[in-house]
Amino acid sequence: MNATAIVETLGKNGIAVEQAEVESKVQAFRLNFKVDEKTASIAVLNMYAKNAGIEIKKSSSKTRATVIELEKMKEGTWVDMTLKVIKIFDQKKNNIVQKGVAGDETGSVIFTIWSTANVPLIEEGQTIDFRNVVCNPFNGNPQISVNKSSELAVSDKAINYVPEKKEIVGIVTKVAPGSGLIKRCPVCEASLYKGTCKQHGTVEGIYDLRLILTIDDGRKESKIVAGRELTEKITGMTLDTALAMAADALDHSIVREAQTNMFVGKYISTIVLDMKSTYLNACEITPMGE
């Protein structure tokens, strides 16, 4: 199917559209979702039909999603896959509902749930059937997009996902904002932004301790995140100690300043879980001296 076929099909159903307009929408869909012309054309046709409140009979040549494992993903294809949700990122973009990492026994993938998708929110640890999602790798990393043509459903399938571990050795160049004392949502434990949780709105947050390091290994910079337990272990500063410091100084930023003095300019070795995200989750951090 192409723009000409869309115009003809819509015309037969009493909808008059300009071919140039259709071609523009098809091209925009291809660029945004990295799909082939046929897939984009079907999506645009369905959009016109939905807006007009009509139903167009589907032909036997309809593009169908293929059930696959992650290792068999190909750019521009529509697929069905069952994945375990490993990580959900904090998001502040209006056009994205959720973004995170999911995986199966063959690997992991970044998923993006767009605001156009009419699907329920998903949670870390759930196994989800991703139906009719499009594969659109970005910067060499596998990604899938969940849009208005997609469906999500909780699955009882057992997924044995084991994230890849790797070592990074380098110099700490920065203790990033979001380090030190933070507050988390008491419902979902997501970090709060100005007292607000993306899913649950304004809440009374619970204090937590976190460390985010930028490490330069001589080739590139990596952002490493350590949770409370590891942060307390390598800094010798417990959450109670950090709260007392902040209370004495009447300033929460003093905790991040203390972390900065401990790490910036120092060499460290860290073992991280490669979650295909901007931030790598540290499971070990070992100082190596000056």
**pLDDT tens for residues 173-186?**
999 999 999 998 88
Which residue did the predictor score with more confidence, 173 or 38? 173
**Closest C-alpha to 148, from 273, 43, 279, 31:** 43
pLDDT(68) > 80 = no
Residue range(s) in the chain whose domain bears CATH number 2.40.50.140: 66-154, 164-287
Q: Which CATH number fits domain 66-154: 3.40.1010.10, 2.40.50.140, 3.20.140.10, 1.10.10.60?
A: 2.40.50.140
**Closest C-alpha to 181, from 242, 223, 244, 261:** 242
Instruction: Give the tokens for residue 206.
Output: 């619970």
Overall average pLDDT of the 72-80 stretch: 76
Distance CA(231)–CA(211), nearest Å, equals 6
Which residue did the predictor score with more confidence, 259 or 9? 259
Helical axes 3-12 vs 37-52, angle rounded to 10°: 30
pLDDT(154) > 60 = yes
pLDDT computed for residue 63 by the predictor: 45
Q: Which CATH number fits domain 164-287: 1.20.1560.10, 2.40.50.140, 2.60.40.1260, 3.55.30.10?
A: 2.40.50.140
pLDDT(79) > 90 = no
Contacts of residue 157, Cβ cutoff 8 Å, sequence gap at least 6: 82, 127
Q: Which residues pair with 130 in a beta bridge?
A: 81, 152
For the chain, what is the mean pLDDT? 82
pLDDT computed for residue 56 by the predictor: 67
pLDDT(71) > 70 = no
Which residue did the predictor score with more confidence, 199 or 17? 17
Overall average pLDDT of the 78-82 stretch: 88
State the Cα torsion 127-133-134-135 to the nearest 10°.
10
pLDDT computed for residue 2 by the predictor: 72
Contacts of residue 94, Cβ cutoff 8 Å, sequence gap at least 6: 115
Distance CA(109)–CA(283), nearest Å, equals 20
Distance CA(75)–CA(136), nearest Å, equals 5
Q: Which residues pair with 199 in a beta bridge?
A: none
Which residue did the predictor score with more confidence, 202 or 58? 202
pLDDT(39) > 70 = yes
pTM of the model: 0.52
Least confident of 68-72, 87-91, 129-133, 239-243: 68-72
Contacts of residue 172, Cβ cutoff 8 Å, sequence gap at least 6: 213, 214, 215, 263, 264, 265, 266, 267, 268
- 3-class state of residue 215 by DSSP: strand
